[in-house]
């Protein structure tokens, strides 16, 4: 058993609620961050055949071994720049293993947007690449069967949802963290820490499925939506969600007063609420 704090021990993080999608990979890492050779072996075992959208096998390599742009290197060569002994890059690799189709789709969309910008001579990265990056770094999928609760979260009605309807949230909602930067930040959480949420109304069958099936469903859903339906066309497609308010994520949220801090749980004000996406017909994607 390690004498170091949990936030420095991958296997210990596997027991933390929001780390559930990566739990098996965290446990497989043991008590220290794996080196690149061990990390590649771990990901290959969890996601055999992992590839970019162009069909290149994904490998995690030292940044100084790559001479091209990050996204181009992933797409054309399957090489993901990964710093050794770096939690941010480690979580990026684990998310590739947990959500392989979605990660490849995000990378392909980066390439398409970059190519289009070159043709149109667009200055800057543009809204599509900004949205893709924000979700890749900080995204969270909120799957729910209770549209009333999802819409309340989209309106930032945090106290009525996370406190007054706490039991309903636990029964009808799943929070699947995607963004690797958010995983890194959750190791040492702080008030005000937000993810970028997409709210999805799903059939009962999705929430009734085992966690692995829910993740596979979400992976296929993201790939489909990002690739063919224009999801993440702008940062406005994403909604800030204060992660520390999710019931059970931190012990501090076991009291009502925690949610009365409007500096952390900010009202929406005059802004337009995020759209709750309904995909009842998509149950068959991966179940």
Sequence ranges of the domains in the chain:
6-98, 132-285
Selected residue with higher pLDDT from 2 and 229: 229
Distance, in Å, from the CA atom of 195 to the CA atom of 270, rounded to the nearest integer, reads 21
What band does 116 get if pLDDT is binned at 50, 70 and 90?
confident
The structure's pTM equals 0.94
Percentage of the chain beyond pLDDT 90 is 87
pLDDT tens per residue across span 225-239: 999 888 999 998 899
pLDDT tens per residue across span 142-200: 999 999 999 999 999 999 999 999 999 999 999 999 999 999 999 999 999 999 999 99
pLDDT tens per residue across span 53-80: 999 999 999 999 998 899 999 999 999 9
Residue 267 Cα distances to 110, 155, 197, 239, 243, angstroms: 32, 8, 16, 12, 15
């Amino acid at each position: 058993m390690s004498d170091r704090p949990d936030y420095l021990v991958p296997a210990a993080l596997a027991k933390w609620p929001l780390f559930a999608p990566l739990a098996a990979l965290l446990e497989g890492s043991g008590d220290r961050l794996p080196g690149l050779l061990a990390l590649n072996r771990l990901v290959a075992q969890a996601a055999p055949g992992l590839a970019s959208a162009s069909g290149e096998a994904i490998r995690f390599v030292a940044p100084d071994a790559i001479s091209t742009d990050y996204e181009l290197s992933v797409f054309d060569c399957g090489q993901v720049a990964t710093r050794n002994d770096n939690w941010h890059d480690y979580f990026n690799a684990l998310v590739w293993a947990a959500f392989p189709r979605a990660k490849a789709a995000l990378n392909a969309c980066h390439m398409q947007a970059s190519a289009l910008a070159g043709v149109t001579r667009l200055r800057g990265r543009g809204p599509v690449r900004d949205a893709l990056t924000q979700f890749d770094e900080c995204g969270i999928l909120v799957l729910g069967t209770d549209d009333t609760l999802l819409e309340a979260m989209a309106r930032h009605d945090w106290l009525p949802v996370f406190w007054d309807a706490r039991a309903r949230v636990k029964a009808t909602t799943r929070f699947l963290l995607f963004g690797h930067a958010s995983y890194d930040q959750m190791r040492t959480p702080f008030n005000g820490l937000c993810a970028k949420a997409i709210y999805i109304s799903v059939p009962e069958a999705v929430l009734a499925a085992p966690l692995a099936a829910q993740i596979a469903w979400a992976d296929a859903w993201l790939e489909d939506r990002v690739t063919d339906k224009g999801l993440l066309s702008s940062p406005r497609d994403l909604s800030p969600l204060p992660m520390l308010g999710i019931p059970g994520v931190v012990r501090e949220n076991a009291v009502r007063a925690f949610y009365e801090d409007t500096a952390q749980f900010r009202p929406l004000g005059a802004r337009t609420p995020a759209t709750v996406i309904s995909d009842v017909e998509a149950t068959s994607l991966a179940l």
